[in-house]
Amino acid sequence: MINKARQNNVSMISLYRRCEKYSEMIKIAKELIKEDPNLTEMEMSAFIEAYKCKLNEIRNVLIKLLEIEKKEIKRGSTHAHLIKELLNPKIAELSNLCDDFISQIDILNSKPKNFDSMANLSRYKLDFLRYKCQFLEQGDEWQKAYNEFFNTIKKIDSFGKDFLSLNNINLLYIELCKCVFYYEVLNKPNEAIEMGKQLLKEILEPPAPKVEPKKEVIEKKESTIKIKDEKKEEKDKNKDKEQKNSDSKENVAEENKTSKSEIKTENATNKEEKKEIERPQENLIFTPELKQFIYILRTNIILWSGKHESDVKI
């Protein structure tokens, strides 16, 4: 049965979005999660949008204030300290919003539908942790957010190795979050560029998969070696007989026939083993999401390099 009350809440979020009432959007989103953390796709989209809209509103104010502060300091103004009185409350507001969003993400991730869902939510968590580190002054709170950022990546990496390939779109965006963190927060553009280039190379030129021989193939190989040893012993005995009966042409002909048969059998066995061990490399499927990701990654690398697209070798 369709829950009309929840549908109405999602509709209200959409309405508040058009009216730019972002705090009201967040309030409804939190009520949805409190009622049932298993959000539908539409509810999840509304939840993410509510927090992102509010975050962007605060960030835009902060960026403008920081630009004004920089200009005032450059011209030696004595009123630059007044801007701090506006900056600090806004930074605190952004920090609280990030903490609130992360706490809601942790609730949703406590009962994830699947690993892909958990990775998707972690992407947004990393974004908010990065914004928090970007505007906070370095201290205990900054260090806590920094540690949580990289611990979240480690957690996803450890699970991702078991569940998903590198080209999973959520894992790719998590790697991109790491690159952006190095550029915007740690102020390490060269490392961010190299990380981005390496990520792009791994997508477009994936290494050939290493496939271990199957147990059955190993056992078959050992059995083949054992048979070969037995035949070698038999062959040595035949040689002794040939020395004693050198005049017997029939024995010699028979031995040649046996040797050819052994070579054919050995070649056939090797071909069969090779067939089982080798696995063709999977072709990369350029989905619309992957194409968009590659475009975003390339654009960031070019912007970070401060060069024209044709000047950037990837």
* Mean pLDDT computed over 140-157: 92
State the DSSP H helix or E strand holding residue 21, giving kind and residue range, or none if neither: none
Rounded mean pLDDT of the chain? 78
CA-CA distance, 34 to 24, in Å (whole number)? 16
Q: Phi first, then psi: what are they for 206, rounded to 5°?
A: -65, 140
CA-CA distance, 179 to 171, in Å (whole number)? 13
User: Which tens digit of pLDDT belongs to each residue from 169-205?
Assistant: 888 888 999 999 999 999 999 999 999 999 888 888 7
202 & 301 share domain: yes
CATH code: domain of residue 14: 1.20.190.20
186 & 226 share domain: no
For residue 47, name the pLDDT band (cuts at 50, 70, 90): very high
The token pair at 283 is 């072709």
For residue 228, name the pLDDT band (cuts at 50, 70, 90): low
93 & 155 share domain: no
Number of domains in the chain: 3
163 & 257 share domain: no
User: Which tens digit of pLDDT belongs to each residue from 229-272?
Assistant: 666 666 666 666 656 555 555 554 555 555 555 555 555 555 55
3 & 141 share domain: no
162 & 290 share domain: yes
**CA 73 to the chain's CA centroid:** 41
32 & 105 share domain: yes
291 & 151 share domain: yes
174 & 306 share domain: yes
Question: For 36-186, where are the alpha helices, taking DSSP H only?
Answer: 41-74, 80-110, 115-135, 140-163, 169-184
User: Which tens digit of pLDDT belongs to each residue from 279-310?
Assistant: 344 456 778 888 888 899 999 999 998 865 54
219 & 194 share domain: no
Of 111, 142, 175, at which residue does a domain stop? 111
User: Which tens digit of pLDDT belongs to each residue from 2-16?
Assistant: 578 888 888 888 899
Per the listing, tokens 């939190």 go with 30
152 & 269 share domain: no
Q: What is the domain range of residue 102?
A: 1-111
pLDDT of residue 273: 46
3 & 107 share domain: yes
CA-CA distance, 26 to 55, in Å (whole number)? 11
pLDDT of residue 197: 92
